[in-house]
Structure 1
Amino acid sequence: MNDHVTSDPARLLTVFDREMRERARPDGPGARVERVGDVVRQVGATVHDWNGVVWSSPDLDASRADAAVAAQVAHCERLGCEEFEWKLYGHDRPADLGARLSAAGFEAEEPETLLVAPVADLATDVRLPEGIRLRTVRDEADVELMARAHEQAFGSDGSRLRHQVLARLREDPEHFVGVLALAGDEPVSSARMELYPGTGFAGLWGGGTVAAWRGRGVYRALVAFRAGVAAERGYRYLQVDATEDSRPILQRLGFTALTTTTPYVYRPARP
């Protein structure tokens, strides 16, 4: 991948689509990725794993799109998934694919912005506010602290996060980095990084901070810490699906917006 490609957002998006979507790797132990017709999807190994479509053919027309959507609904029903996500990007085709997903029973959640930055362009010096220290996640006690910070920052249940991080630490720690921000012994923020070997990309996830510590640079410090690890391990790009809260911070740090991504989630009716 040459510098000319990576300085052009449109061409970088093409590389991202190929490496991270069409050639997607499973996001956890036991999961598998399948290419079926016009889509690439992940099939999880347990009830805690993510199931969904990560890529669809860029030349989908209306009839093929409807057939692909119907096939994924049938796949979800057959597997007995509690939910199945179609990860729709802003440039995916046909242009009304979101409407077609909605018509098939998928529900759109809040859109996020796909941001990418060359690791070499990012600051890696970790500047922490007074009273905060960082610790990498290494064992079950750390995972519990990570989940607690997540629950307090986002107001959501951390059960899936607990399961996923424990599985990564147990079965694939080489391609996972978890980090805690602690005030004394109390977790105030947590974040993780997924390393995708062979792609040049690493993904940043989490980073939510409890309300009392927001606006003090904790989030920026977690980004810098993970950028430093990515640089040490030879990864060229960091990728983030950013909420509207984190997008402006990341753009100030040097990330470029490439497109949007919207989760469309199908939840089968249960008797």
Structure 2
Amino acid sequence: MDHAAVLALFDRETREGARPEGPGTRVERGARVVRRIGAAHGWNGIVWSDLDESTADEAIAEQIRCFTGLGREFEWKLYGHDLPADLGERLRAAGFAPEPEETVMVAEIAGLALDVEPPEGIRLVPVTDATGVDLVADVHTKAFGTDSTWLRHQLQAQLIDDPDHVVVVVALAGDEPVSSARLELVPGTGFAGLWGGGTVPHWRGRGIYRALVAHRARIAASRGYRHLQVDATDRSRPILARLGFEALTTTTPYLFL
């Protein structure tokens, strides 16, 4: 992989060229910042910036005014190659709190090994209605230990209003939901995003996550996408590397609550 070329393409198509993510969202483009504004329970934040030492502080202050004026909590999605080099320090000084750093991993779908099947006793079921969304939310709560209300609202809205651009899958052991994940298909780009992959603790280490990656990759390939992108935790990064993903950059969510 030509990392520099893929990184430039990733920035141009998915960040600077960001599109609304589901119903009720909009993208606003300024000269130096691109922000996505959604519902109060959805994702709100900064997806791209082109700043330097002379413009960063005012741009940060402007985004705080914008989102607080809307009554929104929001995130500045900072990437490892974003400038200025001290942008993270400037965000902390302005009141943002960093979450754990993740690794942006990318793969060309054509180069992936996709003949991965779920372990015995596990079936992958597409999520198409509120009952399925409840199963996904249950997995999310158990896998990540966080409230899943926002996810339930987001998935229900996407499946109703934008079903062509999101694929949601739940892994069942009998009738028990043990893992789930979604695939977000970004129209007009060559990138499809793998999001939300999580497995409940007592089912980890059995190959379910790997099977969900391969399942979603096959779907993305069938719809003409060239690349897959994942914001990988330390837990998922080794699995993705074994499947053929490569580290492109890092990303750190900076939250303003």
The residue number in structure 2 matching 1:189 is 179
| Pairing of 1:32-111 with structure 2 (within 5 A) | 32-44=26-38, 46-57=39-50, 60-81=51-72, 83-111=73-101
Q: CA RMSD in A?
A: 0.8
- Tell me, in whole angstroms, the C-alpha distance in 1 between the residues paired with 2:20 and 2:111: 28
- Tell me, in whole angstroms, the C-alpha distance in 1 between the residues paired with 2:143 and 2:42: 22
Q: Following TM superposition, by how much is the alpha carbon of 1:63 offset from its aligned partner in structure 2, in angstroms?
A: 2.1
| Pairing of 1:1-271 with structure 2 (within 5 A) | 7-44=1-38, 46-57=39-50, 60-81=51-72, 83-267=73-257
* TM-score normalised by L of structure 1: 0.93
1:7-44 CA-partner distances (Å, limit 9, x unpaired): 20111000000000000011121100011231000011
State the aligned residue count: 257
- Tell me, in whole angstroms, the C-alpha distance in 2 between the residues paired with 1:87 and 1:76: 14
Q: Following TM superposition, by how much is the alpha carbon of 1:123 offset from its aligned partner in structure 2, in angstroms?
A: 2.2
- Tell me, in whole angstroms, the C-alpha distance in 2 between the residues paired with 1:204 and 1:227: 9
* TM-score normalised by L of structure 2: 0.98
Identity of aligned residues (%): 65
Q: Following TM superposition, by how much is the alpha carbon of 1:154 offset from its aligned partner in structure 2, in angstroms?
A: 0.9
1:134 partner SS = strand
- In structure 2, stretches of 5+ residues that fail to align are none
Please say if residues 123 and 227 of structure 1, whose CA atoms lie closer than 8 Å, have aligned partners that are also in contact.
no
Please say if residues 193 and 204 of structure 1, whose CA atoms lie closer than 8 Å, have aligned partners that are also in contact.
yes
Give 4+ residue runs of structure 1 displaced > 3 Å after superposition. none
